[in-house]
């Protein structure tokens, strides 16, 4: 598929169904073993905060947030980012 055809085809997809990059911040340190469930692009963790970067559409983002809620993590920020960070702390 040409680049132009791909651009036209993705324009017709509603924004909520398109995959975008998100950065999610949760309070506290999250073990690396838990991170596998979220398939992060990257993550970093300190004693005070864990930053998780994911590529997801709205449905997948909702699922990730639900899982974070289910394991009783305090979510304090979800923002859309232009692209993932250059670091690769999660994989």
Res 5 pLDDT > 70 = no
Asked if the structure places residue 4 within a domain, the reply is no
Read off the pLDDT of residues 7-63 as tens digits, 9 standing for 90 and up.
555 566 666 568 899 999 999 888 778 777 777 788 888 889 999 999 999 999 999
Q: What is the CATH number of the domain that holds 45?
A: 3.30.70.980
Res 75 pLDDT > 90 = yes
Q: What is residue 11's predicted lDDT score, i.e. its pLDDT?
A: 61
> How many domains in the chain?
1
Asked if the structure places residue 86 within a domain, the reply is no
Res 76 pLDDT > 80 = yes
Asked if the structure places residue 89 within a domain, the reply is no
Range of the domain at 47: 16-81
Torsion of CA 20, 77, 37, 55, to 10 degrees: 10
Asked if the structure places residue 10 within a domain, the reply is no
Q: What is residue 4's predicted lDDT score, i.e. its pLDDT?
A: 59
């Amino acid at each position: 598929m040409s680049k132009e055809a791909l651009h036209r085809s993705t324009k017709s997809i509603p924004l909520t169904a398109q995959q975008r990059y998100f950065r999610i911040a949760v309070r506290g340190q999250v073990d690396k073993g838990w991170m596998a469930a979220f398939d992060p692009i990257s993550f970093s963790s300190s004693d005070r905060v864990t930053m998780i970067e994911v590529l997801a559409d709205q449905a997948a983002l909702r699922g990730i947030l639900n899982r974070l809620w289910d394991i009783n993590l305090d979510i304090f920020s979800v923002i859309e980012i232009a692209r993932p960070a250059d670091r690769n702390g999660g994989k």
